[in-house]
A and B are shown apart, each in its own frame.
Chain A
Amino acid sequence: MSLIEVENLKVHFPIRGGVFQTVKDHVRAVDGVSFSIEQGQTYGLVGESGSGKTTTGRAIIGLNDITSGKVLFEGRDLASVSRKEYIDVRKDIQMIFQDPFSSLNPKKRVIDIVAEPLRNYEKLSAKDERIRVQELMELVGLSPEAIYKYPHEFSGGQRQRIGIARAIALKPKLIIADEPVSALDVSVQAQVLNFMREIQKELNLTYLFISHDLGIIRHMCDHIGIMYKGRYVEHGTAEEIFTNPQHIYTKRLIAAIPDSDPRNREKHYANRKLVKSEYDRLEKDFFDEEGLPFSLKSISATHQVALGEGV
């Protein structure tokens, strides 16, 4: 059984207007998304800003209300469990946020930040708590003496590691990482990514990795889902997505990544123009009248693409 299964997840936000602030319409931020992640794997959710990837992550962890659909975590549906049960499940799902500067409370010391989940779930004595936090600090490669410092005394990469220490404090099974390295410099980014992979092996963690950076997704993920306007356009293993993309949107996304070899510049530029013209020509075949992707069709056991009737 997969650790988590998301079935036809929908998150709609109401648009209110008029005199009585009645609901006029809905923004379909996530509109029928399904995927599943096996224990110990990393699943990449890719898309441009506004594609609904972050909303999907937030809905799974309960920061956005689910309109319809199922989120099965170890067989239990998070959308319909009782509040008491939910608190229990919630322990196993943690989140790493994008911005290490705004996700840590500046008025709290590191020990209070990292111990907060422990205080919610485990009744530890002050001494045991301190020992646990120090262990966690060591695990994320920070000095255990630093627990009485405040977040502003750390650099961006260190702060992100404090955020990771907080996320792994309760030994969760699933970690949702929402653009965990976008706000960091390249050298620090490498540090955090390597570290995330290390603790994944150590603690047998499962990641839902949300990012717009395809280079990082390729580096980190086993399976990838590409989102566009709240729907899936393509889903498959990292290999399938990067070497054999089928949807024109995926092709365009991959063609847009800068090539690191300057000698390929002209070739890459020509390819981009070619993909762009193909995109304009075939837009009707790949998107419906509203400009939304069609529903997914399997082209192999692991590879699904949103194709219309004609293709």
Chain B
Amino acid sequence: MNDVLLEIKNLKTSFRIKDDYYAAVDDVSLNVRKNEVLAIVGESGSGKSAFAFSIMGLHTRAKIEGEINYKGTNLVNANANYMKQLRGSEMGMIFQDALSALNPLMVVGAQIDEAIFLHNPKTSKSLRKKQVINLLNQVGIPRPEKTYYQYPHELSGGMRQRIVIAMAISNQPELLIADEPTTALDVTIQSQILDLIKELKDTMHAGIILITHDLGVVAEMADRVAVMYAGQIVEIADIYTLMENPQHPYTRSLLNSIPTLAEVKSDLHVIQGVVPSLQKLPRTGCRFASRIPWIEDSAHEASPELHEISHGHFVRCTCYKDFYFPEQAKEERNYVAN
């Protein structure tokens, strides 16, 4: 397809612990298209941030294998200078914690100015300032002329996150990676920031990778969703399919474990066990098997692969066919007994 912006094939990011390498991102393949929001969902430790950092080339000590194709270049092998040029100009990143992403000793205007200057050193100072003011306007800062000369600590959390966004979009990136952009914020501020990202997408037509653990945010924002578990994608589909017809046991468990406003459940679903640590991760068989022990071993594949079950809807392993919630089984049994 023509509108593919980023093509990732068999990406594997491994970290060295003592003398061995352990893959935090294991064989991930996906495409990011122009003008779409691709959400990556998972619990902490599922490898979603490691994945984003791999794309941006921000890992310093990891071993990265596979392909990240962007405009005909494989970024995995690209040299550091080329990556430096891409970062901040064609690829922008919004970090979770705005306070630590900003320099506390520089006024925020100068920090955005720096991002523009690094990629367009020929732009005159006065023009850059005009651009910065424009950007601050664009991200909804009420008095940009004043805010330009303020330090990060003088701004509220929501304002700081807007500054980080202004910095990320300062050179009209074609790819924007937002790593938990609203996790540290209050709900009212969160909705403002999400609306802002949505509006920016409509004006810039950028491809956005949104990394989050909040399924509510996903439902509000995403066009497509990839669910990650233990370094692998376990399900990928468009937002409607994923929310209305989820297949993989992990996706279904996640959706069942959040309290929603729509219905008051008596008990929330609990996923048994914990996400295994990097060293203890099972490298063969279905990685989710240990957390759904009531499903028989024969339901899992020996080496689980992604199966396309309908157009654009991929599910890993075959265990989804036999999966049921233990609570449901109890109810059914009671029903039969009665």
Flag if A49 contacts B186 (CB, 8 Å).
yes
Contact present for B240 and A263 (CB under 8 Å): yes
- A294 close to chain B: CB less than 8 A: no
**B188 in contact with A190 (CB, 8 Å):** no
Chain A interface mostly: helix
Stretch at the interface among B17-25, B106-114, B203-211, B250-258: B250-258
B168 nearest CB across to chain A (Å)? 22
* B267 with A257: CB separation less than 8 A: no
Determine if B265 is an interface residue (Cβ-Cβ < 8 Å). yes
Interface string of A153-188 (1 = CB under 8 A from B): 001010000000000000000000000000001111
Residues from chain B with a CB closer than 8 A to the CB of A155 are 274
- In the assembled complex, 16 residue pairs joining A and B whose CB atoms fall closer than 8 Å, in A order, are A48-B189, A186-B257, A190-B258, A193-B259, A212-B186, A214-B187, A219-B264, A256-B187, A256-B188, A257-B187, A257-B261, A259-B220, A260-B216, A260-B258, A269-B195, A272-B195
Q: Is the CB of B214 within 8 A of A194?
A: no
A292 to B206 CA separation, bound complex (whole angstroms): 41
Residues of B in contact (CB 8 Å), total 40
Cβ of A240 to closest chain B Cβ, rounded Å: 14
| Closest 6 pairs between A and B when the two form their complex, measured CB to CB | A258-B216, A219-B259, A190-B268, A187-B271, A190-B257, A256-B191
- Residue numbers in B under 8 Å from A259 (CB-CB): 216, 219-220
Given A186-B215, A268-B220, verify A215-B240 contact (CB < 8 Å): no
Report the bound CA distance from A155 to B259 in whole Å: 22
Chain A residues positioned under 8 Å from B257 (CB to CB):
186-187, 189-190
At the interface, yes or no: B27 with Cβ under 8 Å from chain A? no
On whether the beta carbons of A48 and B254 are closer than 8 Å, the reply is no
Cα distance A213–B214 in the bound complex, in angstroms: 12
Chain A residues with CB below 8 A from B76, complex form = none
Q: Is the CB of B191 within 8 A of A215?
A: no
Report yes or no: B261 in contact with A194, Cβ–Cβ below 8 A: no
Contact (Cβ within 8 A) B243 A261: yes
Q: A212, B187: Cβ atoms under 8 Å?
A: yes
Most B CB within 10 A of own CB, among A220, A254, A257, A262: A262
Residues in B with CB closer than 8 Å to A253 are: 187-188
Asked whether, in the complex, the Cβ of A48 is within 8 Å of the Cβ of B270, the reply is: no
Which residues of chain A are within 8 angstroms of B194 by Cβ–Cβ distance? 258
Q: A284: CB under 8 A from chain B?
A: no
- Bound: A48/B184 CA distance, A: 12
Q: Interface code B43-57, partner A: CB below 8 Å = 1, 0 otherwise?
A: 110000000000000
Whether a CB of chain B sits under 8 angstroms from the CB of A265 is: yes
Q: How far is the CB of A189 from chain B (nearest CB, A)?
A: 7
CB < 8 Å: which of B44, B157, B259 contacts A218? B259
CA distance A190 to B215 in the complex (A): 14
Q: Is the CB of B270 within 8 A of A190?
A: yes
Which of B215, B268, B269 is close to A260, meaning CB atoms less than 8 Å apart? B215
CB-based contact B219/A265 at 8 Å: yes
Q: Of residues 201 to 247 in B, which have CB atoms within 8 Å of A's CB atoms?
A: 213-217, 219-220, 222, 239-240, 243
User: Given A212-B186, A262-B240, A265-B219, are A218 and B261 neighbors across the interface (CB < 8 Å)?
Assistant: yes
Q: Is A191 an interface residue (CB 8 A)?
A: yes
A248-283 at interface with B (beta carbon < 8 Å)? 252-263, 265, 268-269, 272
**Measured CA separation A186–B267 after assembly (Å):** 14
Given A262-B239, A262-B243, residue A185 in contact with residue B44 (CB < 8 A) = yes
CB A210 to nearest CB in B, in angstroms, measures 14
Tell me, rounded to whole Å, the shortest Cβ–Cβ distance linking B7 to chain A.
26
B195 x A187 contact (CB < 8 A): no
**Which residue on A lies nearest to B194, using beta carbons?**
A258
Contacts of A188 in B (CB 8 A): 274
Q: Is A242 an interface residue (CB 8 A)?
A: yes
**A273 nearest CB neighbor, chain B only:** B195
B259 & A258 in contact (Cβ 8 Å cutoff): no
A216 interfacial contact with B, CB 8 Å = yes
- B residues in contact with A214, CB < 8 Å: 187, 261
